[in-house]
Each structure stands twice: as structure tokens, then as C-alpha cells.
């Protein structure tokens, strides 16, 4: 009877099959997803009495989003294409959001409540011009707001109901550069003003209903015009002359154009610096900026200028806001210590302050970059004001009644580079799981888990199960775990802000606006480049913190001087910063450390000289001992040249020191410009671990992987095929893939794909490379794989030689010896366009590999590397099937359950980072774009661990029940045998 019981248990276990799906109550246990919008550049408020109060914004990440004014949460959001830059947003008919984008060529209307696109119009034109958007609010034709768009050298009038172009006025023949489109109050007339050439000023009076030209006037100003213009009234503009020393007041009314000049020196005295007119819309007033000095200047009725106020520190001015009959207000924000001073003034009375508030501000947010003001009606019927503030670190804040109502860290929408750091060791020893408080809670928890397993849980039960699991998972602790799941994700953003995110729940552990990457007089255009691990203390991890190196430059050019910053990975404190005298075009982390475990780095400047960091005698001694073994390469994609470099001697001349070395060219490969253009290069990750070099085939043949950290994959296309997909005929297009040894410059493999075109996305791992491109002949995307094997070790198949030690497996491998290699390759169709490709990494390299593919739908697909095995055949033998070789098909399968992002999207996906955990079966995946997504992935399932929610109590109960059943059945069996003997 006991044997029967065990058979039943085994039958039950054999019928259970593992699942790749994710249960509803498991969401958020191993992954997290965060949504952002980026740095706001336009904002319009919608705060009517009915409906939710919201603000609609557009950002530098090409995002249009509607935010809740109460909490800052996203109501809806649309991420436009990479090149679809938003030029302006407005509200029409009180229910549509109008956006102008793509340099004024695409006009869209979005439904305000839910963000659904209502219509889309494409505006034609032949000339580049500044895009302008204006919704004529007080001009309605059959309950329709007319939308005016100036772009592409034309003025378009568009219906806000259906997007139909009502009329179009072309200014190409006049070579007019439109500066402003001005709506005249209480009439259906508009002014279109602009410059033709540098000195001709034009005014067009047009009927906005039908586009009829009513009047055209022009005048010439001998001094010429430059820069922005400020509109101070419906018939008065202020502009700068060509020398930027004279302010020109332009008055156009009654068919006459008048110019009045005012020397800037008469207003501000002797000063030097670049003069700019700020693009504000203040009634009767405009703002002039000279370096850090800001002047607020009023234009009198006679066209004369008078300075209202001078501010000699960081100041930002909002656009004018109409808040009651014929009243306008605007906001002025100034910095003072750790506070910002917000003042709301009347448009026609500078001395009256409607609001004056001081707000405590975190100094790590930097200065204010933009401010948008909105009004509301208080309970006493008076007018109150709120301000939406965009900070230097790209964060967004709503300020009301002197307090910050909410803030958003939208700098995380523009991540440049990512590295990781281990968390500190738990000093009090390994923590033990907490015991349930009482028996009732214990039983309730296991009952809920049982209901969830049997899919009988209600919505409330699912929430309770998820809460229990999140509480017991301990994933957000600030100490290391023995599986290596908890880490710090250290990210650098475009704003120059540094973040440490906890891998458990994605929260910000610390943040730092790097002083070295902030705009200053010494560094006008700071740009962050990369993040590297600088110091990783292994032997004394208890008393020293790891640190990271941030590399940047003061400018967009490669010749700009470099900037280094050293940051504590645990506290976020900047330990040191260096303003370099030389530029930085390449950073080479070396596999050497000094006694303090600081990693050595080589910085290559624009003159191809290398500089060693850290600049210590010990680092120099270590480096010079290995100097003969250091090689690197550089890629000049525009010139079609790849060069190999070696260190020759100490630097001589300007900027030379003991840590500077001159280099020489070791080899070079020149691709003919008339036939090939470099579009992609990729190499192996230096921290990748390869478990075994040998690969046994089905016929017991041993193939040795060609493992080299010096291999470089290069993809080139014919010059005509370097454009967008479909811009060239298949006969004129070809893609060539190369495998190049970067020490000797030897081309190990070359393969041509005729009729193929980029863009190319590739990933290199172990001895294989996978790359994605477009096949013009088949009109489909393709993925190809190349595997390279070392034939020089192929003779090591004799067991006797291995026993006697007569093999060459331990012989040193030199890149200068001509390698005997053989390659295997195969191509497959793939149905998706790709944004990024990565490969899973594990601690020992034992677990099978998966490709992580960022699709055009902003999701991440996990594809088993076995599908890209070049040995696949249509009819594999039984031995090949046993090895795991999949039958050959022309297309790679896309299994819906293989999307590791599930139903979520990483909008604006730009990169995928994989980090090995200590547990061999598991890899950590972090993907970033406008959104962030993190998860744990087990390519071969968790064969070496139990799940976090595994019920040890249930296992114990099962074992006890089995023992009791065995004992009972044994007693019953003994009694039965005794009765049979007495018969």
C-alpha cells in the first residue's frame, strides 16, 4: 500500500509542467518599471472647473504628456520618433492638444482627456524656416478654431476640427524669414512680420479667414538685424542690429514702418559679452541678457526704451498669462543661496507684486532653467498662482503657496551610460528570515498562496499575496545578498546628474549634480561621456567604499578639454575632480590595479597621446612593466580607417609629464570610400567569462572556440546604401562583415551580403557574433551569425596524446602567429526592426546564452542562442536532436511569452545592460530609454536555487505526512499479515 501511495505522488509530480508565464500576483517581485518624460520645454495648463486639472508638456526627449496637477502623475503620454522634435504645443477648442513637430512639417491634434490622436496633417514647403504655431482663440468659423503654422517658408491655416488646410501663403519668392505671426484683437486680421536678407523688414496684413493679402509694407534698416525679436505689442517689435550693440524698436501701424535706435551702452553703461533678447511675451516689456546680467526694459508709447530693473544673477522669466479682463501676469524666478525667490508681477505694473514667495530648494537641483505660470481662484474669489519650474538637472517641480507640491526626477529619461556596484556587506551577519507573528497569520498567508497557485484568488487576494511577497522578499535591503541580486545601478544622465538606483525596487539611493559637468565660465558646454569602475576594494570591503570614474569634456568637439570626476559609490559624494589640459577621445580601462585597488586607465587625446591615471608612482611602475603588452585600436568611421596603436616613448613638448606617452601606428586598414563605409563596430565585453573552450559536436568531434579579447567585428555598406532603408536598389547595395584581430590588424574572416542595407546592430560573445540588418531583395530583416573556431588545436583529439601530455592546449597563443581558423555562418529572417541587442552574462559562463533584442515596439525579447546555431539543418539526425540542435527554418520564431518586459514598454529604448549575479543561473537585465525597466532572467531556468516564495513549511508538512502515512500503512500491513497467518 505504501508503494502505491508513492507511485501516486510520483505520477502527480510528473504531470506538472514548468511555466514560462508570469502570474498576476508575481508582478513587481523580480522586476520594476518606471516612466519618465524628460526635460520639459513647452507647457500649457488646463485648469477649468470641470474635469481634472492638468498640464500638458512637451520635452527634449520628444515626449508629449498630460500630467496631473495634484500629484504630477502621468495621465497619458506619447513618445514621438527620434527625429520628430516637438516645436510647439497649444490647446484648441478647449478639448484638443495641438502639437507642431518635425521642423514644422507635422501638425497633430490629440484628445485632451485620453490622449488619442484625432487627426494628423503634413505641411508642405521647400524652404527651411523657423516653425511657429498660433491658435486663433477669438476667431471661430463654424465653431472651429483656426490654427496658423509658419514653417517651410509658408504660412498655413489649418482647421482644428479635422486638420484640413484651409489656405496657404507661400513666402519663398520673397525670401522672407518669418519672425512673428500676430493676431489683431477684435478682428479676423493677422500680421506676419519678418526679415528678407539681413536688413529688409516686411509686414504683411492678411485676412485670417481666407488668406487674402490686405496690405504689404517693407522698409530697409541699414544696420541689419540678427537674433531673436521681442513682441511688446500688436504693432511694436524690438530687435538687435547686426553688431549687437543697438536695440532697434520697430513700429508698424497705419501702413508706415518706423525704426528707432537705442544704444545698449546708453542703457547699461560699458559692458562686454554676448547680447541676447530673450523670447518672452511680456506686454510692453522685454528682457535683455548680457552674460549673467539681465535687463528688463519697458517700451514707452513713443518707442523709447527705459530700464525697469537690472538683475546680476541667475534669473528666469515666464511668458505672460492672461488671468482676468485685460490683465496679464508673469513670473520672475531668482536664486539666492538654497532658496529660489518666486515673484509674480502685473504685466503693466512692474512695482506691484501679486505673489512673492521664498521656496527652500535642494542645491543639488542646480539653477532654474524654465518657469511656466498658471492662476487659480481661491475660496475668497481672489487670484492665486502656481508655477511649474524646470531645473538644471531636468527635474520638474510644481510650486504653490511657497511650497513644492510635487517633483519629478525626469533626468532619468536621458541616461548616457550605466555601471554597477556591489552593496556593502551586512556587518551584523547574515540576517535570518522573520518568523510569522502568530499561527493565524501563518495559515492565512499559506492559504492565500495556495489559492493563487490554484488560480482561485480574487482581486483582493492577489493584492494581499503580492504585498506578502514584497514584504518577505527583502529585495530592497541596502546590503549584499548571497545570490548577488541586490546591486547599485549607477547611471549618468545628459543633465550631468549622477544617480544610484537600487536594483531591488528602482528607488533613488542617492543623486549628485556633478559640479564638474555644470555650465560655468571655464566650461561653457559640459558634456558627460562615460562611467567606469575606478576602485573596487575586495580585501577590505568593510572599511572602504568603492568609487566610480565619470569622464566628460567641456564642449561638443573632440578637441575640447576633458573633465574627470571621482564619486563614492555608496554615499554619492564627489571625492575629487580634475580639469584636464588635454582632450579625451578614448578611454581604455586596463586590467591592472595598484595596491589601493584603483584600476589603471589610459586616456587618449586628440593628438593620439595617452595619459595614465591615476597619476601615482606605483601606477606608473605597474604600467611600464606591462607597456609592451598594451595595444589598442581606433576607428575613424567618417574616413573609413581602422588603426592599431602601440606605445612608443614618453611625451615630448607641450603638455608633457611623467604620465604622458607618445604612440605609434602599428597597422591600418583603409576601406575604399567609393565602395565601403563603416556603419558598425562591436567587440567582446572585457568582463565576459567563458566556461570552456572546447565544443563537442554530435559525431564526437571536438571543436575549439577561437577565444580572443582582441577580435573586432566591423560592418560596412556601399556608400549609396548608407541612407534610410529603401533609398537604394538591391543591385547597388551590399553589406560586408569583417572579423579583425586588433593586435596584428589581420582580417580573419570576410563575408558579403549582396542586396543588404543597414542599420546594423550587433553583439559579440565568446567566439560568435550576431548582427541584424535589412535584406532589400527579400524586403525583410535578417539576422546572421558567425562562429569562429581554432583549427591549430584540432589535432588534440587523440586521447593518448592528452594522457601523455603531448598536446598544445597549454601552449601560449600569440596574435602575431597566423591563426588557423575556420568559420561557420548562417542567416535567418527576423520579422522585427531592432533598436539594441545584448547577450546574457553569468558568473561562470556555464548557463546557456540568450540574445536580448530591443524591438521597434520598445520591448525586450529573449531569444535562445540555439535558434542562431549555424549547424542547424532541415532534417537533423537523431544525434543532433539529442545535442539540442533545432531543425532549420527560414525565420526566427518570436514567442509572446519570451518578452521579458511582459506587456510593458520601455518607451524610447536606447540600451540594454546585462550584469551577472553570483547565482550562476541568473543574470540581471537593465534596459533604459525614456522609461527604465529591470528584471532577473534565468536562461536555463533556476536549476541551482529555489524560488523566493518557496514554502518550506509546506515541504515540512508534506514530509511529515509522508512519514506518518508510511508508519500507518506499515502498521496496517503488519496487522493484515498477522490476521492472514491466524487463518
The DSSP symbol for 318 reads: P
483: pLDDT strictly greater than 50: yes
Within-domain flag for 635: yes
Predicted confidence band of residue 565 (pLDDT cuts 50, 70, 90): very high
- For residue 887, being part of any structural domain is answered with no
Q: What number is the average pLDDT over the span 247-255?
A: 84
pLDDT of residue 934: 95
Taking the C-alpha atoms of residue 942 and residue 585, their distance in angstroms, rounded to an integer, is: 42
Is the residue at 142 inside a domain?
Answer: no
Last residue of a domain, one of 476, 508, 542: 476
Q: Three-class SS of residue 792?
A: helix
Task: Give pLDDT, residue 18.
Answer: 38
Q: Does some domain include residue 660?
A: yes
- Does position 60 have pLDDT exceeding 70, yes or no? yes
pLDDT for the residue numbered 379: 80
So what's the pLDDT on residue 14? 38
What are the counts of helices (DSSP H) followed by strands (DSSP E) for the chain? 8, 64
Angle 856-857-858 (CA atoms, 0-180°, nearest 5)?
Answer: 90
Residue 61's pLDDT is 93
Q: Answer yes or no: are the C-beta atoms of 72 and 398 closer than 8 Å.
A: yes
- Tell me, what's the pLDDT at 854? 94
**CB-CB contact of 901 with 859 (8 Å):** yes
**pLDDT category of residue 8 using cuts at 50, 70 and 90:** very low
pLDDT of residue 699: 65
**What's the average model confidence in pLDDT over 585-590?**
92
Number of domains in the chain: 3
658, with CB counted inside 10 A (0-12, 13-18, 19+), is exposed
Greatest alpha-carbon pair distance for the chain in Å reads: 132
pLDDT the model gives residue 436: 42
- CA dist 117 and 319 (Å) reads 28
Residue 719 contacts residue 672 (beta carbons within 8 Å): no
What average pLDDT does the chain have? 84
759: cis peptide before it, omega within 30°? yes
Give yes or no for residue 185 having a pLDDT over 80. Answer: no
Q: Is the pLDDT of residue 413 over 90?
A: yes
Q: List b or e across 747-764, with b for residues whose CB sees 16 or more CB atoms inside 10 angstroms.
A: ebbeeebebbbbbbbbbb
Task: Give the Cβ contact number of residue 349 at 10 Å.
Answer: 10
C-alpha cell of 20? 514560462
Identity of the highest mean pLDDT range in 681-695, 768-782, 878-892: 768-782
Please, what sign has the CA dihedral across residues 7, 13, 16, 18? negative
Query: Which of 127-141, 318-332, 784-798, 806-820 is the least confident region?
Result: 806-820
Local structure of residue 401 (DSSP, 8 states): T
Q: For position 293, what pLDDT does the model report?
A: 82
Give the pLDDT score at 304: 82
Residue 394's pLDDT band, with cuts at 50, 70 and 90, is very high
Domain boundary among 448, 476, 504: 476
Q: Mean pLDDT over residues 569-584, rounded? A: 90
What average pLDDT score do residues 549-574 get? 91
Region of poorest pLDDT, from 70-74, 481-485, 828-832: 481-485
Find the domain containing 438 and state its range. 432-476
Residue 1: pLDDT over 60: no
More reliable by pLDDT, 425 or 588: 588
Does residue 30 register a pLDDT over 80?
Answer: no
Condensed to tens digits (0 to 9), the pLDDT of residues 790-822 reads 887 666 555 555 555 555 555 566 656 667 888
Determine the angle formed by the axes of helices 439-453 and 459-473, rounding to 10 degrees.
Answer: 120
Please compute the mean of the pLDDT values over residues 386-394 and round it to a whole number.
91
The span from the CA of 761 to the CA of 770, in Å, is 8
Q: What mean pLDDT do residues 894-923 have? A: 91
Q: What digits encode the pLDDT tens for the residues 531-541?
A: 999 998 875 54
With beta carbons less than 8 A apart as the criterion, state whether 900 and 852 touch.
yes
604-661: per-residue pLDDT in tens? 998 889 999 999 999 999 998 988 889 999 999 989 999 999 998 888 877 678 889 9
Whether 565 contacts 549, CB under 8 Å:
yes
Reply yes or no on whether the pLDDT at 219 is more than 60.
yes
Residue holding cell 496487522?
975
pLDDT above 50: residue 435: no
Q: Can you tell me the distance from the alpha carbon of 769 to that of 779, in angstroms, rounded to the nearest whole number?
A: 23
Cβ–Cβ < 8 Å for 588, 567: no
Q: What is the pLDDT of residues 850-896, one digit of tens each?
A: 999 999 999 999 999 999 989 888 888 887 787 788 888 889 989 88
Question: Residues 433-456: what's their mean pLDDT?
Answer: 62
Within 141-273, strands assigned E span 145-151, 154-159, 165-170, 176-183, 189-196, 200-207, 213-220, 225-233, 236-241, 246-253, 256-263
Burial 387-403 (b: 16+ CB within 10 A, else e): bbbbbbbbbbbbbbeee
Is residue 578's pLDDT more than 60? Answer: yes
| pLDDT tier for residue 326 given thresholds of 50, 70 and 90 | confident
Q: Which residues share a beta bridge with 713?
A: 682, 739
911: pLDDT confidence band, cut at 50, 70 and 90?
Answer: very high
Residue 226: band (very low, low, confident or very high) from pLDDT cuts 50, 70, 90 = confident
Radius of gyration of the chain (CA): 34
pLDDT (0 to 100) of residue 432: 37
Q: Return the SS3 of 971.
A: helix
Q: Does the pLDDT at position 21 exceed 50?
A: no
Distance CA 922, CA 944 (A): 9
Condensed to tens digits (0 to 9), the pLDDT of residues 925-960 reads 999 999 999 999 988 887 777 766 677 777 888 899
Q: What is the pLDDT of residue 319?
A: 85
The residue ranking higher by pLDDT, 803 or 85, is 85
Q: What average pLDDT does range 130-142 have in this prediction?
A: 78
Confidence of residue 6 (pLDDT cuts 50, 70, 90): very low
Give the residue from 900, 824, 907 showing the smallest Cα distance to 868: 824
* Close Cβ partners of 708 (under 8 Å, ≥ 6 residues apart): 741, 813, 815
Total residue length of the chain: 983
pLDDT of residue 796: 56
Confidence band of 437 (pLDDT split at 50, 70, 90): very low
User: Counting beta carbons within 10 angstroms of the beta carbon of residue 84, is it exposed (0 to 12), middle (13 to 18) or buried (19 or more)?
Assistant: middle
Query: For 313-323, how does the pLDDT look when each residue is reduced to its tens digit (9 = 90+)?
Result: 778 888 888 87
Q: Give the C-alpha separation, 707 to 809, whole Å.
A: 13
Domain boundary among 453, 476, 499: 476
pLDDT at position 980 is 86
Judged against a pLDDT cut of 90, whether residue 211 lies above it is answered with: no
Residue 12 has pLDDT above 60, yes or no: no
Q: Most confidently modeled of 324-328, 627-631, 707-711, 911-915? A: 911-915
- The whole-angstrom separation of Cα 757 and Cα 646 is 34
Amino acid at each position: 500500500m505504501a508503494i502505491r501511495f508513492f507511485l501516486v505522488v510520483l505520477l502527480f509530480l510528473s504531470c506538472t509542467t514548468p511555466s514560462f508565464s508570469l502570474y498576476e500576483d508575481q508582478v513587481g517581485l523580480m522586476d520594476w518599471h518606471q516612466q519618465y518624460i524628460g526635460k520639459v520645454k513647452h507647457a500649457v495648463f488646463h485648469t477649468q472647473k470641470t474635469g481634472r486639472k492638468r498640464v500638458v508638456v512637451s520635452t527634449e526627449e520628444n515626449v508629449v504628456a498630460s500630467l496631473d496637477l495634484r500629484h504630477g502623475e502621468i495621465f497619458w503620454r506619447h513618445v514621438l520618433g527620434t527625429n520628430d522634435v516637438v516645436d510647439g504645443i497649444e490647446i484648441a477648442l478647449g478639448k484638443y492638444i495641438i502639437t507642431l513637430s518635425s521642423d514644422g512639417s507635422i501638425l497633430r491634434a490629440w484628445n485632451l482627456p485620453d490622449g488619442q490622436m484625432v487627426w494628423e496633417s503634413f505641411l508642405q514647403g521647400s524652404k527651411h524656416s523657423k516653425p511657429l504655431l498660433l491658435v486663433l482663440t477669438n476667431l471661430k468659423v463654424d465653431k472651429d478654431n483656426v490654427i496658423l503654422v509658419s514653417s517651410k517658408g509658408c504660412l498655413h491655416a489649418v482647421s482644428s476640427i479635422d486638420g484640413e488646410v484651409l489656405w496657404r501663403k507661400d513666402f519663398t519668392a520673397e525670401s522672407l524669414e518669418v519672425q512673428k505671426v500676430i493676431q489683431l484683437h477684435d478682428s479676423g486680421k493677422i500680421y506676419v512680420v519678418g526679415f528678407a536678407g539681413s536688413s529688409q523688414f516686411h509686414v504683411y496684413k492678411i485676412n485670417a479667414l481666407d488668406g487674402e493679402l490686405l496690405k504689404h509694407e517693407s522698409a530697409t534698416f541699414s544696420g541689419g538685424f540678427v537674433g531673436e525679436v521681442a513682441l511688446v505689442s500688436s504693432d511694436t517689435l524690438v530687435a538687435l542690429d547686426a553688431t549687437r550693440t543697438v536695440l532697434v524698436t520697430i513700429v508698424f501701424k497705419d501702413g508706415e514702418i518706423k525704426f528707432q535706435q537705442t544704444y545698449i551702452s546708453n542703457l547699461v553703461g560699458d559692458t562686454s559679452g554676448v547680447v541676447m533678447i530673450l523670447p518672452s511675451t511680456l506686454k510692453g516689456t522685454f528682457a535683455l541678457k548680457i552674460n549673467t546680467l539681465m535687463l528688463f526694459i519697458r517700451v514707452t508709447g513713443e518707442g523709447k526704451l527705459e530700464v525697469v530693473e537690472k538683475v546680476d544673477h541667475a534669473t528666469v522669466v515666464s511668458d505672460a498669462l492672461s488671468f482676468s479682463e485685460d490683465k496679464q501676469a508673469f513670473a520672475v524666478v531668482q536664486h539666492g543661496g538654497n532658496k529660489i525667490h518666486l515673484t509674480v508681477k502685473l504685466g503693466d505694473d512692474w512695482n506691484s507684486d501679486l505673489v512673492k514667495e521664498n521656496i527652500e530648494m535642494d542645491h543639488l537641483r542646480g539653477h532654474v532653467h524654465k518657469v511656466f505660470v498658471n492662476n487659480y481662484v481661491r475660496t475668497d474669489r481672489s487670484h492665486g498662482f502656481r508655477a511649474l519650474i524646470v531645473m538644471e538637472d531636468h527635474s520638474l517641480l510644481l510650486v504653490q503657496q511657497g511650497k513644492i507640491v510635487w517633483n519629478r526626477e525626469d533626468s532619468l529619461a536621458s541616461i548616457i551610460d550605466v555601471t554597477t556596484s556591489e552593496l556593502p556587506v551586512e556587518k551584523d551577519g547574515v540576517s535570518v528570515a522573520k518568523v510569522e507573528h502568530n499561527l493565524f497569520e501563518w495559515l492565512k498567508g499559506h492559504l492565500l498562496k495556495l489559492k493563487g497557485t490554484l488560480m482561485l484568488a480574487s482581486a483582493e487576494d492577489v493584492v494581499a499575496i503580492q504585498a506578502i511577497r514584497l514584504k518577505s522578499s527583502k529585495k530592497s535591503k541596502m546590503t549584499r545578498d548571497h545570490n548577488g541580486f541586490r546591486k547599485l545601478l549607477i547611471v549618468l544622465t545628459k543633465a550631468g546628474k549622477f544617480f544610484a538606483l537600487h536594483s531591488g525596487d528602482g528607488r533613488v539611493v542617492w543623486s549628485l549634480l556633478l559640479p564638474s559637468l555644470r555650465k560655468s565660465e571655464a566650461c561653457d558646454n559640459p558634456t558627460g561621456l562615460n562611467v567606469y569602475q575606478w576602485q573596487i576594494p575586495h580585501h577590505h570591503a568593510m572599511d572602504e567604499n568603492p568609487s566610480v570614474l565619470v569622464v566628460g569634456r567641456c564642449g561638443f568637439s573632440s578637441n575640447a578639454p576633458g573633465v574627470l570626476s571621482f564619486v563614492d559609490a555608496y554615499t554619492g559624494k564627489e571625492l575629487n575632480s580634475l580639469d584636464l589640459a588635454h582632450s579625451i577621445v578614448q578611454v581604455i580601462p586596463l586590467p591592472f590595479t595598484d595596491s589601493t585597488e584603483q584600476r589603471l586607465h589610459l586616456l587618449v587625446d586628440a593628438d593620439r597621446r595617452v595619459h595614465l591615471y591615476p597619476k601615482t608612482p606605483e601606477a606608473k611602475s605597474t604600467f611600464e612593466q606591462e607597456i609592451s603588452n598594451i595595444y589598442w585600436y581606433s576607428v575613424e568611421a567618417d574616413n573609413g580607417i581602422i588603426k592599431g596603436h602601440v606605445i612608443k616613448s614618453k611625451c615630448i613638448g607641450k603638455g608633457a609629464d611623467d604620465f604622458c606617452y607618445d604612440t605609434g601606428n602599428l597597422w591600418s586598414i583603409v576601406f575604399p570610400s567609393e565602395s565601403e563605409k563603416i556603419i558598425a563596430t562591436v567587440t567582446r565585453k572585457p568582463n565576459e567569462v567563458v566556461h570552456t573552450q572546447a565544443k563537442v559536436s554530435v559525431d564526437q568531434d571536438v571543436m575549439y572556440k577561437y577565444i580572443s579579447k582582441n577580435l573586432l567585428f566591423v560592418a560596412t555598406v556601399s556608400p549609396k546604401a548608407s541612407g534610410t532603408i529603401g533609398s537604394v536598389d538591391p543591385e547597388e547595395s551590399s553589406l560586408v562583415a569583417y572579423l579583425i584581430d586588433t593586435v596584428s590588424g589581420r582580417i580573419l574572416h570576410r563575408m558579403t551580403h549582396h542586396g543588404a542595407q543597414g542599420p546594423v546592430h550587433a553583439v559579440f560573445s565568446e567566439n560568435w557574433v550576431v548582427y541584424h540588418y535589412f535584406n532589400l531583395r527579400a524586403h525583410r530583416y535578417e539576422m546572421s551569425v558567425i562562429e569562429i573556431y581554432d583549427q591549430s588545436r584540432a589535432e588534440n583529439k587523440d586521447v593518448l596524446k592528452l594522457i601523455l601530455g603531448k598536446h598544445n592546449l597549454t601552449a601560449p597563443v600569440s596574435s602575431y602567429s597566423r591563426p588557423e581558423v575556420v568559420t561557420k555562418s548562417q542567416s535567418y529572417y527576423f520579422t522585427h526592426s531592432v533598436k539594441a541587442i545584448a547577450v546574457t552574462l553569468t558568473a561562470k559562463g556555464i548557463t546557456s546564452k540568450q540574445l536580448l533584442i530591443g524591438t521597434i515596439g520598445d520591448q525586450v525579447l529573449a531569444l535562445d542562442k540555439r535558434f542562431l546555431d549555424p549547424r542547424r539543418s532541415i532534417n537533423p539526425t537523431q544525434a543532433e536532436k539529442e545535442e539540442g540542435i533545432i531543425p532549420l527554418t527560414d525565420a526566427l520564431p518570436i514567442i509572446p511569452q519570451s518578452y521579458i518586459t511582459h506587456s510593458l514598454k520601455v518607451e524610447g529604448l536606447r540600451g540594454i545592460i546585462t550584469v551577472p549575479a553570483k547565482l550562476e543561473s541568473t543574470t540581471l537585465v537593465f534596459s533604459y530609454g525614456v522609461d527604465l525597466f529591470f528584471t532577473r532572467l534565468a536562461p536555463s531556468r533556476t536549476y541551482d536555487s529555489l524560488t523566493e516564495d518557496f514554502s518550506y513549511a509546506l515541504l515540512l508538512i508534506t514530509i511529515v505526512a509522508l512519514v506518518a502515512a508510511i508508519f500507518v500503512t506499515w502498521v496496517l500491513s503488519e496487522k493484515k499479515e498477522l490476521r492472514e497467518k491466524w487463518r
